[in-house]
């Protein structure tokens, strides 16, 4: 499992360039170019080459700290991928302690996952999270099915780079405090694109764009991806003697690439793919290392145990970089200057860095494909245009949270003496019509097995006011179809809604000993119309009128019952939802509340049916331990079965664990539950949040049971489980016990959201 994750990391991280083979680490003197000797009394021109390596590239910071401690001035820098990130920020003049602090403080899991804080998303974007739909979203249009161009959203990385580069634009990167070059790959032609000027954030982003993981960068019509494919260790860039090039006399080279896999480590197709990429990248590294001269310095940090995705080990990797420079201090000291000269060099960088930070003078917004331009400009420009980078990025966040965009970035350029920021809202490549699919299943030691296949199809922006057509389908032991039209009223949070639904399910009925007496097939169809008010990121309020038609027939057992039953209910419903959970399937922080009150008449019945559903959830995390509390009440307010179209049920995993699924049936049910779980290992954000171990303490009660008309006692129960947050949803393997009829035990295998 560790090898699988490691090799996946190599494919999904910021870069994954390898170390070269052992034979390439010592370049034969006969093949090495002669060292360049500077003129007498003149300090040699020192270039710094920083290679790609994903999280392993954080070691570059440690090397830079060692160089500063030894007073080695750097005259120019060239970097690829992670090397471009560290090198470009340092070349821009940001003090090294500040660089380190920002890298250590960054939430790398969040940046690499590319997912915004769910609690800040509009509720309309969150409401489908309570179905067990897979993470990947497809698009559907006249050309057929559309697949996303990347696994990870780049918005958070783009934002991070903007903050780190501080909106620096230079016609030539030679005008930075330290001259700089970044290497990227032209995805169409396969050749090298060297950034020697322009928008620094765009240059770094292009050099880091791992294809298929992060989206490509469109640079004036050229599609650019990670530079590792053409030159993962850009030594030649700094040795070039052409006018405007660095023409370094000596280069310090830091190689942080991933080692080649050994034969016994290549076990799966993933390993084969990773090794193929290592070979392709390793060849260009080998060719570049042949350019090293006797006076050059090669630093190879020992990064054993760290993969290109080890971003949670920032401090440790940086220290590996510092340690790697120690054995080479004598060679590096030969390039050092005295204290006064080094202080003067640092002061020069600081003075040029201060001059580098200039705000933009004008905003321009490019055209969008399906989101109305006035909506986009209304968020970005607003009544008062943003005056600072921070204000502009906050507006980008608000626009990105709508779910309509893959990224929102801007490109700086000079026009008529002004610095112009051209904003490019890149709408989702699979939009505006989206398809998601999923699966859930339940198995237990009572020999109960159910499986369901889910589909969700949405058409958005049906008109300029943002109308949506939302469709959900489920096939399996319980089948259903719901179709809803959602129409906002202008630009206000008020909306109109109308829906129709169909469903078929089974209603198992058990005696007091847990023996199944019969199973009733239930068919439902209904319609609902009304309106509501959106509460932004918090939730929504709905008021609707509804009608529902229910038919029941005995499928098995029956105790001699053969007739069918038909019920029709019509009335009104009020529903309030507040959703501030960070992850509804494995929450670590936040809260959730849903209240649903329906009042209506059952055909041919005199009593008013009053049905209520209340779901409350709260989660808090202390270190690696999470405590989640749940309260749920569902059923008739007056506890009368005659006012319930379909009785309510309780029992099963995490719903009085130890009992059979839906073993208890009555007019009203209640459940209280406290879950505690600990994350014991993490996965790549693209695969899930991690592996958990936990347990629950539960209590349930049912009123007016269907056969006895009696209320149960409060039934204590509990469970212990191992869980994994996967791309397909939360997977549990557990055991439960309930204090009912002398005690009941059960084992469970469960994939899906636990309500």
Catalytic annotation, residues: 81, 226
Answer whether 168's CB lies under 8 Å from 414's CB: no
* Residues 6 or more apart whose Cβ sits within 8 Å of residue 151: 12, 212, 213, 686
Judge contact between 257 and 54, C-beta under 8 A: no
Provide the token pair at 187: 């995805």
Give strand pairing partners of 735: 720, 747
Unique residue bearing structure tokens 């006692």: 713
Q: Exposed/middle/buried for 183, CB within 10 Å: 0-12, 13-18, 19+? A: buried
- Do residues 206 and 182 make contact, with C-beta atoms less than 8 angstroms apart? yes
Instruction: Tell me phi and psi for residue 334, to 5 degrees.
Output: -65, -20
Burial 376-410 (b: 16+ CB within 10 A, else e): beebbbeeeebeebeebbebbbebbbbbbbbbbbb
| C-beta neighbour count of 202 within 10 angstroms | 25
User: Hey, how many other C-beta atoms are within 10 angstroms of the C-beta on 2?
Assistant: 8
Extract the tokens encoding 220. Answer: 């004036």
Round to whole Å and give the CA distance between 17 and 281: 6
Are 425 and 365 in contact by the 8 Å Cβ rule? The answer is: yes
DSSP string, 203-223: HHHHHT--TTTSPPEEETTEE
Alpha-carbon distance 632 to 635, whole Å?
Answer: 10
472 contacts 453 by C-beta, under 8 angstroms: no
Question: Can you tell me whether residue 528 is helix, strand or coil?
Answer: strand
* Peptide bond just before 620 cis, omega within 30 deg: no
**Is residue 212 within 8 Å of residue 150, measured between CB atoms?**
yes
Residue 146 structure tokens: 């559309």
Q: Using an 8 Å Cβ cutoff, are 71 and 339 in contact?
A: yes
Q: Are 427 and 405 in contact (CB under 8 A)?
A: yes
Asked if 527 contacts 502 with a C-beta cutoff of 8 angstroms, the reply is no
DSSP reduced 3-state for 90: helix
């Amino acid at each position: 499992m560790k090898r699988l994750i490691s090799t996946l990391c190599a494919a999904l991280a910021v870069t994954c360039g390898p170390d070269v083979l052992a034979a390439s680490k010592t370049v034969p003197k006969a093949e090495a170019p002669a060292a360049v000797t500077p003129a007498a009394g003149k300090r040699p021109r020192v270039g710094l080459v920083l290679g790609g390596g994903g999280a392993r590239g954080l070691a570059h910071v440690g090397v830079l700290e060692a160089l500063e401690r030894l007073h080695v001035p750097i005259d120019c820098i060239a970097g690829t991928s992670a090397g471009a990130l560290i090198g470009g920020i340092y070349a821009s003049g940001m003090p090294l302690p500040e660089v380190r602090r920002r890298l250590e403080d960054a939430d790398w899991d969040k940046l690499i996952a590319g997912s915004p804080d769910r609690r800040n998303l509009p509720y309309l974007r969150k409401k489908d999270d309570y179905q067990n739909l897979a993470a990947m979203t497809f698009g559907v249009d006249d050309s057929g099915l559309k697949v996303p161009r990347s696994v990870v959203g780049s918005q958070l990385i783009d934002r991070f780079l903007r903050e780190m580069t501080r909106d620096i634009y230079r016609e030539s990167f030679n005008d930075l405090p330290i001259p700089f070059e970044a290497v990227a790959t032209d995805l169409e032609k396969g050749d090298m694109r060297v950034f020697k000027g322009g928008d620094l954030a765009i240059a770094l982003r292009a050099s880091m764009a791992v294809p298929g993981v992060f989206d490509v960068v469109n640079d004036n019509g050229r599609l650019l991806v990670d530079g590792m494919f053409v030159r993962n260790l850009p030594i030649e860039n700094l040795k070039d003697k052409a006018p405007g090039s660095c023409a370094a006399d000596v280069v310090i080279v830091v190689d942080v690439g991933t080692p080649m896999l050994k034969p016994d480590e290549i076990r799966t197709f993933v390993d084969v793919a990773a090794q193929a990429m290592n070979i392709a990248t390793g060849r260009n590294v080998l060719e570049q290392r042949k350019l090293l001269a006797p006076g050059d310095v090669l630093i190879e940090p020992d990064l054993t145990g760290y993969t290109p995705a080890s971003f949670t080990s920032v401090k440790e990797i940086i220290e590996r970089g510092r340690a790697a420079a120690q054995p080479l201090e004598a060679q590096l000291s030969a390039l050092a200057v005295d204290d006064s000269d080094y202080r003067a060099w640092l002061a020069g960088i600081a003075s040029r860095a201060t001059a580098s930070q200039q705000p933009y003078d004008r905003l321009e917004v490019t055209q969008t494909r399906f989101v109305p331009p006035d909506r986009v400009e209304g968020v970005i420009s607003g009544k008062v245009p943003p005056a600072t980078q921070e204000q502009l990025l906050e507006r980008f966040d608000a626009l990105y949270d709508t779910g309509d965009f893959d990224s929102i970035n801007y490109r700086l350029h000079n026009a008529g003496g002004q610095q112009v920021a051209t904003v490019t809202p890149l709408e989702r490549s699979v939009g505006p019509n989206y398809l998601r699919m999923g699966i859930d299943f339940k198995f237990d030691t009572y020999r109960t097995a159910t499986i369901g296949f889910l589909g969700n199809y949405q058409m958005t922006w049906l008109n300029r006011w943002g109308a949506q057509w939302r469709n959900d389908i489920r096939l399996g032991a319980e089948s259903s179809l719901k179709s809803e039209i959602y129409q906002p009223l202008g630009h206000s949070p008020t909306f109109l809604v109308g829906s129709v639904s169909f469903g078929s399910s089974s209603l198992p009925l058990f005696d007091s000993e847990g023996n199944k007496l019969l199973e009733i097939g239930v068919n439902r169809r209904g319609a609902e119309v009304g309106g509501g008010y959106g509460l932004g990121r918090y939730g929504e309020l709905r008021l609707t009128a509804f009608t529902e038609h229910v038919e029941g027939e005995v499928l098995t057992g029956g105790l001699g019952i053969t007739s069918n039953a038909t019920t029709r209910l019509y009335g009104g419903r009020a529903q309030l939802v507040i959703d501030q959970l960070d992850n509804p399937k494995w929450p670590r922080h936040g809260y959730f509340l849903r209240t649903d009150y329906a009042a209506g008449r059952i055909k041919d019945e005199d009593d008013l049916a009053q049905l209520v559903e209340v779901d409350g959830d709260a989660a808090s995390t202390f270190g690696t331990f999470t405590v989640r509390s749940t309260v749920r009440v569902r059923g008739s307010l007056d506890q009368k079965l005659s006012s319930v179209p379909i009785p309510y049920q309780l029992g099963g995993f995490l719903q009085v664990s130890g009992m059979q699924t839906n073993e208890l049936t009555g007019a009203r049910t209640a459940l209280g539950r406290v879950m505690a779980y600990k994350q014991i290992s993490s996965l790549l954000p693209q695969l899930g949040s991690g592996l958990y171990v936990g347990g629950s303490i539960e209590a349930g009660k049912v009123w007016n049971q269907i056969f006895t008309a009696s209320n149960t006692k409060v039934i204590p129960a509990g469970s212990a489980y191992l869980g994994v947050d996967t791309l397909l949803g939360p997977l549990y393997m557990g055991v439960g016990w309930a204090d009912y009829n002398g005690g009941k035990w059960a084992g469970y295998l469960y994939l899906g959201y636990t309500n």
